[in-house]
Structure 1
Amino acid sequence: MCGITGIYYFDKDRIVDSTLVNTMSNALAHRGPDDDGVFLDNNLGLGFRRLSIIDLSPQGHQPMCNEDGTVWIVFNGEIYNFQELRPMLEKKGHRFKSATDTETIIHAYEEFGAQCLDYLDGMFAFAIWDGRKRELFLARDRFGIKPLHYYHKNGIFAFGSEIKALLPIPQVARDLDYQTLWNYFTLMQIPAPHTIYKDIRKFLPAQAMVVKADGSKRAWQYWDIHIQEDFSKSEDQWVEELRDLFGKAMRRHLYADVPVGVFLSGGLDSSGVVAYASKVKQEPVKTFSVSFSDDPKVDESPYQKIVADKFQTEHYEFRANADILQAAQLLIQECDEPFAISSAIPLYYISKMAGEHVKVVLTGDGGDEVFAGYDGRYHTAERLHSLDYIPGFAWRGASRFITRYYRRNGDENDFGRRLQRVITWGQQTPDERYLSIFTFFTSFQKEQLLHPDIVREVQKGFGRYYQQVFDNAPKTGLNRKLYIDLKTSLADEMLTKADRCTSMVSIEGRVPLLDKSFVESAFKIPASLKLNREEGKLILKKMFSDLVPPEIYNRPKAGFVVPLKQWMTPAAFQPLIHENDSILNRPYLEKILSLNDTTGKNWGYHLFGIYQFLIWEQAEKSGVALLEHL
């Protein structure tokens, strides 16, 4: 976990000011408190903040260069196969001065150019300055584990691990993107490549880019998952292959020159990671969990204890209650934009607790997207295919009816709420409908929530990138849904959450279930071995069954649930609501606050989305700097 940033002026006579690069870099100090560095080359500047994980010596200092100083790199992440690549590069004449994986990337770039990405196995975001060509080469890892943002306007290209690294640049405007805001209230996160700001973009997973001296840039996708079901192997053969690949992945992910621990939720995926870590490591594994004293129904501490006892881990537990909601403000300022994935709040506190004991943590993220863990969503999507038999004119007529009905009755009527969602599904394509199953505010509700001028400006869709995902996905079946999840919500939601929560407290998060070889093998497994009519992750359960206690792999999927209905109270909103808000409709907000408080319906997740936006809006208007960690 490190922080990288840089700026490139296309006017070759415009010299980069070291003060500006230092300011950009210092905005990322929490990502790398161990060391910092700046490299300047006239109209180019690179900045770096280091979290030392491998080769803790000064030889790991960045920005780092090749032997003759013509190629420079800033790099965030880990290359898990760097020890295999190094001898191959040395045989080709490259000389190494450190034991870092960073230097492997430099020499791989010298040897293979942009094709070096084909050789790198890991999680990464990096920028390489090729002084001979006066070009920047940037890339993000295959699954989007490590973040990377950029600005390209006004004769400038700038990049940063987080948005906050770009905001000190005077030319970067902070204009709100209303289309992005519309999508935020649908998904509770902001899908790539967009950000809340019109002129700042996110790199997509597996995206590479070359920026030339004339101001032009070329971006491309350098990798995609190849899905081709292989029916030649039996289920037992697949299980053995997965066990072998995951064992190798765990050994790579546990390699570090600092202490390593595991986040333990009590679910199958994190329990499997703990099991394999205990198998690989000689000493007891350090595990970190959260429990909820406010709501025993979502408290998973009994399952966490089963796993911790089974593998005799050195276990630490954080007990959460409504008081931890104060971390929401810190989370927003870390993300630099609205982000309302509620499980990020307790995850921050687990990360903070883990940071007192380790510098690297392994998580169980990725198992649901690769092995079909969202079985309820898949089955719902299949049932909703029947809506396609109703002609479009019928849905359009129903839409006009429900619009009038909704304006009269609003959200107080449960029948109206359900009917409007069904009518929305009926007018969507199957892919849009699949995404909408796990969305929050409907279009009807957003039209009530947002100012009319904003509603008139936006388009009701998920954007061009989502359409590209739909076009590239397998034509039908479960693998189409898994591909969509892998390319969208995994990076924008789950991996963003893990990255921000760990970076806030200066530790590194690793994701062994997203090991490249492991995932590529998993997508060859027939879909019938992952999902049946009752449950998902069938083969993953069998893979872990020789190590994980049966109480874990036989339990229903629970998810990481936070008791938001109890936490989202009028008192929590009181400091954030303003009379003359130009974006949100205050009467509508007050209405759903009342519904959440006085009825049995759970509006907690909707309200949390508004709560997070209001915190961001307040900080944006006041220009609040990053808060001191709570």
Structure 2
Amino acid sequence: MCGILALLDRTGPVAEAAALAALAGMAHRGPDGDGSRIDWDGRLFLGHRRLGIFDPGAGGHQPMPDPETGNWLIFNGAIYNYLELRVELEAAGHRFTSHSDTEVLLIAWRHWGSSALQRFNGMWAFVLFDAKDDKLYVSRDRLGVKPLFWADTGKAVVFGSECTALAQAADVPLIPDPVAVHDFLTLGLTDHRSNSFFQGVLCLPPGSIWSVDRAGNISRNRFHDWSTTPAPATPLKDLIVDATALRLRADVPSGLLLSGGLDSTIVAWAAGQGDSGKPDQILTYGYREKGPHDETDRAERTARYLGLSERLARVAVDPTPSRALLDDVIAHQQQPFNTPSIVASFRLYREMRAHNCTVALTGEGADELFAGYTRRYIPLALRDALKRGEFLSAWKLLRSPHGRLLARRLIWEAPTAAIRWIMRKRRPHIRSIAGRFWHDGRHWFAERVSKQRLPLDAALQADPVTDLLPQPLRYADANGMASGVEVRSPFLDWRVVATALALAPTEKVSYQGGKQILRKLFTGDLPPEIISAPKSHGLGMAEQFAVGAIDLSDLFDHPPIIASDFLDLSQLKAEIAVHPNDPTLWWPVCLLLWLRWLERETAR
């Protein structure tokens, strides 16, 4: 929901025209209105692009003032429990002039100060000008569901919802970060560090509350830490139902993405436990010529089981995305992404907007929270069982569908130099990396190896908070905002996350597969084939294997100027010809597409 931009110039009045142009560049994030404000003797710019969800009329316009305190707020996100907070604040004597969650945030700050953040159940990135303290307060939600990038050029400090907005407003150079590129090309990692893919463009850490004074001095604090957050006493199933009901709150139509898997089916079931009548539309995704990766038949059976058939619509596409579509996705993501399968959600959110839905419910986050990635977690569990001498458990895990991947997992126990040698010899995407860049990345590679050696329980703690979940959060936000759709997932409710982090690994993954606790909790509520099925392919699986079908001739004939710094283009072309269905070759291909976008973007 929305796009925000805050610019503080340390030396003099802000370049307002540049700031307004940067704000206009985020119109897709907020097609329903815009506003800006200048303060601090012309050195502070606050700008907002609005996507109206709560009180979509004039009552939710931003920047929003608090007339009693003189505070001003720009806010991206949603405070789902704003109705309960409003009742509490009204009981304390406060009065409201709108029905928006933005005003609730402002008055909650007036009443509780920064401790109000502990009371919020939602997703947010905001900048609040506090008149009494004469400071800006900058915050991002506990999990980092909503993005907030920032940069300090020396002359200026800038915060914004998109990297290109920072570049345009404060002349921040968009130069590829070699460490980010290395991690992406070797392991497909993104969003696992506080840095973006651009040097000097950083991500405000989730759970932060920073303050900025008139001189641009930054004080960095946190309001939340997962390691000290206890799990709620409420049972997990009840939490998921309540989290879904909260995320169905909207003054606009909402939709739901229904695949053939467990996660979205749980959300669909939970949505039916209330009396809101939402979601208004349900979409399922498949292909014009049904094949092994098409899950629409299962989704249709699930919709019938849940009594939702009348709201279900099927989207059928060609599994090979066009170059124009890929270029469009990259332009909105603004950073590389590790699978072309996210083209599916890009298409779906566009279709959802065409159905007049502004809010989309998904099952995002369940795989990372409840060990749904069995190809990752079963080999980890097997390795750990062997190390502990638990041979019966190890035997059961070895006989599971993904136990055979143990050899791949054990490679990370070898010396780092040996791992690098094996990967360079055996992996097509590694062979596509330029020789000098591969050599220079040996220092960064050592840190990545240490992450791969984490025991299962440590990986299950790190994946939701730092290592894996930030990837799909960024992908979903940018894809949804490309069509002016706000993406919400009940599994990302902070109470659900805290409960998941407190679970023992055996409650999540066993030789029977991942997400064991979810399968147990929802047996009897969902179709048996959903409960017992292994992890579904998920949206966009066919696109993962379409790398060889993408027309890249122009990029090989006339590559981006700096492509050879990172890639051996002749080797990449040869690898694609020999391994057209290898999904890891998407990583160098995506980098090549991104470098072309970046070259054009910086030339404007």
Q: 1:337 aligned to 326, 335, 338, which one?
A: 335
Instruction: Tell me the CA shift for residue 607 of structure 1.
Output: 2.3
**Deviations, residues 136-183 of structure 1 (Å, cap 9, x unaligned):** 211111112111101112221101111121121353112221111101
What amino acid maps onto 1:378 in structure 2?
A: Y
Instruction: Tell me the CA shift for residue 386 of structure 1.
Output: 9.2
Q: Distance in 2 between matches of 1:146 and 1:105?
A: 16
Equivalent position of 1:397 in the other structure: none
- Mapped contact 2:378–2:509 kept (Cα < 8 A): no
- Mapped contact 2:245–2:274 kept (Cα < 8 A): yes
Q: Distance in 2 between matches of 1:365 and 1:447?
A: 29
Q: Is 2:449 the partner of 1:454?
A: no
Cα pair distance change 1:214/1:361, threshold 3 Å: same
- Mapped contact 1:227–1:479 kept (Cα < 8 A): no
Equivalent position of 1:411 in the other structure: none
Equivalent position of 2:371 in the other structure: 372
Equivalent position of 2:397 in the other structure: none
Instruction: Tell me the CA shift for residue 549 of structure 1.
Output: 0.9
What is the DSSP-based 3-state SS (H/G/I as helix, E as strand, rest coil) of the residue aligned with 2:168?
coil
Q: Distance in 2 between matches of 1:4 and 1:465?
A: 33
Instruction: Tell me the CA shift for residue 270 of structure 1.
Output: 0.1
**Deviations, residues 397-420 of structure 1 (Å, cap 9, x unaligned):** xxxxxxxxxxxxxxxxxxxxx999
Gaps in structure 1 of 5+ consecutive residues = 390-417
Q: 1:350 aligned to 339, 348, 351, which one?
A: 348
The aligned runs of 1:153-552 (5 Å cut-off) are 153-169=153-169, 171-185=171-185, 186-226=187-227, 241-281=235-275, 283=277, 285=279, 286-293=281-288, 296-313=291-308, 314-326=311-323, 327-357=325-355, 358-384=357-383, 423-427=411-415, 448-458=431-441, 460-461=443-444, 478-552=456-530
What amino acid maps onto 1:156 in structure 2?
A: A
What amino acid maps onto 2:24 in structure 1?
A: N
Q: 1:554 aligned to 528, 532, 535, which one?
A: 532
What is the DSSP-based 3-state SS (H/G/I as helix, E as strand, rest coil) of the residue aligned with 2:169?
coil
Q: Distance in 1 between matches of 2:415 and 2:115?
A: 43
What amino acid maps onto 1:368 in structure 2?
A: D
Q: Is 2:553 the partner of 1:574?
A: yes
Q: Distance in 2 between matches of 1:495 and 1:570?
A: 28
Cα pair distance change 1:421/1:553, threshold 3 Å: closer
What amino acid maps onto 1:215 in structure 2?
A: G
Q: Distance in 2 between matches of 1:227 and 1:73?
A: 29
- The alignment's C-alpha RMSD in Å is 3.4
Q: Distance in 2 between matches of 1:562 and 1:476?
A: 28
Instruction: Tell me the CA shift for residue 570 of structure 1.
Output: 6.6
What is the DSSP-based 3-state SS (H/G/I as helix, E as strand, rest coil) of the residue aligned with 1:572?
coil
Q: Distance in 2 between matches of 1:555 and 1:548?
A: 12
Q: Distance in 2 between matches of 1:514 and 1:381?
A: 24
- Mapped contact 2:319–2:546 kept (Cα < 8 A): yes
- Mapped contact 1:291–1:300 kept (Cα < 8 A): yes
Equivalent position of 2:118 in the other structure: 118
What amino acid maps onto 1:575 in structure 2?
A: D
What amino acid maps onto 2:214 in structure 1?
A: A
Cα pair distance change 1:610/1:359, threshold 3 Å: same
Cα pair distance change 1:227/1:443, threshold 3 Å: farther
Q: Distance in 2 between matches of 1:452 and 1:142?
A: 40
Instruction: Tell me the CA shift for residue 385 of structure 1.
Output: 5.2
Could you list the runs of 4 or more consecutive aligned residues of structure 1 that deviate by over 6 angstroms after TM superposition? 227-230, 386-389, 418-421, 440-447, 462-467
Q: Distance in 1 between matches of 2:109 and 2:182?
A: 40
Cα pair distance change 1:111/1:565, threshold 3 Å: closer
Cα pair distance change 1:118/1:293, threshold 3 Å: same
Q: Distance in 2 between matches of 1:91 and 1:149?
A: 37
Q: Distance in 2 between matches of 1:375 and 1:312?
A: 30
Q: Distance in 2 between matches of 1:501 and 1:565?
A: 17
- Mapped contact 1:64–1:73 kept (Cα < 8 A): yes
Equivalent position of 2:542 in the other structure: 563
Q: Distance in 2 between matches of 1:139 and 1:441?
A: 42
Cα pair distance change 1:282/1:170, threshold 3 Å: closer
What is the DSSP-based 3-state SS (H/G/I as helix, E as strand, rest coil) of the residue aligned with 1:219?
strand
Instruction: Tell me the CA shift for residue 457 of structure 1.
Output: 4.3
Instruction: Tell me the CA shift for residue 330 of structure 1.
Output: 0.9
What amino acid maps onto 2:20 in structure 1?
A: N
Q: Distance in 2 between matches of 1:112 and 1:159?
A: 24
| TM-score normalised by structure 2 residue count | 0.86
Cα pair distance change 1:483/1:444, threshold 3 Å: same
Q: Distance in 2 between matches of 1:442 and 1:424?
A: 15
What amino acid maps onto 1:25 in structure 2?
A: L
What is the DSSP-based 3-state SS (H/G/I as helix, E as strand, rest coil) of the residue aligned with 1:575?
helix
Q: 1:20 aligned to 15, 18, 21, which one?
A: 18
What is the DSSP-based 3-state SS (H/G/I as helix, E as strand, rest coil) of the residue aligned with 2:337?
coil
Cα pair distance change 1:387/1:199, threshold 3 Å: farther
Q: Is 2:589 the partner of 1:615?
A: no
Equivalent position of 1:408 in the other structure: none
Instruction: Tell me the CA shift for residue 591 of structure 1.
Output: 2.2
What is the DSSP-based 3-state SS (H/G/I as helix, E as strand, rest coil) of the residue aligned with 1:129?
strand
Q: Tell me whether 442-451 or 275-284 shows the greater mean CA deviation.
A: 442-451
Instruction: Tell me the CA shift for residue 351 of structure 1.
Output: 0.9
Cα pair distance change 1:170/1:498, threshold 3 Å: closer
- Mapped contact 2:322–2:550 kept (Cα < 8 A): no
Q: Distance in 1 between matches of 2:46 and 2:466?
A: 30
Q: Distance in 2 between matches of 1:154 and 1:623?
A: 23
Q: Distance in 2 between matches of 1:110 and 1:79?
A: 16
Q: Percent identity?
A: 27
- Mapped contact 1:60–1:98 kept (Cα < 8 A): yes
Equivalent position of 2:396 in the other structure: none
Q: Distance in 1 between matches of 2:469 and 2:23?
A: 24
Q: Distance in 2 between matches of 1:148 and 1:115?
A: 20
**Deviations, residues 435-480 of structure 1 (Å, cap 9, x unaligned):** x9xxx9899867643334434544544799999x99xxxx986442
Gaps in structure 2 of 5+ consecutive residues = 389-405
Q: Distance in 2 between matches of 1:302 and 1:592?
A: 35
Q: Distance in 2 between matches of 1:228 and 1:99?
A: 31
What is the DSSP-based 3-state SS (H/G/I as helix, E as strand, rest coil) of the residue aligned with 1:506?
coil
Q: Distance in 1 between matches of 2:426 and 2:110?
A: 50
Aligned residue pair count:
572
Cα pair distance change 1:526/1:615, threshold 3 Å: closer
Instruction: Tell me the CA shift for residue 57 of structure 1.
Output: 2.2
Instruction: Tell me the CA shift for residue 131 of structure 1.
Output: 3.3
What is the DSSP-based 3-state SS (H/G/I as helix, E as strand, rest coil) of the residue aligned with 1:209?
strand
Q: Tell me whether 488-497 or 297-306 shows the greater mean CA deviation.
A: 488-497
Cα pair distance change 1:145/1:545, threshold 3 Å: same
**Deviations, residues 593-613 of structure 1 (Å, cap 9, x unaligned):** 12214xxxx42x222222221
Q: Distance in 2 between matches of 1:329 and 1:291?
A: 22
Instruction: Tell me the CA shift for residue 226 of structure 1.
Output: 4.4
What is the DSSP-based 3-state SS (H/G/I as helix, E as strand, rest coil) of the residue aligned with 2:541?
coil
Instruction: Tell me the CA shift for residue 209 of structure 1.
Output: 1.7
Cα pair distance change 1:195/1:546, threshold 3 Å: same
| TM-score normalised by structure 1 residue count | 0.83
What is the DSSP-based 3-state SS (H/G/I as helix, E as strand, rest coil) of the residue aligned with 2:487?
strand
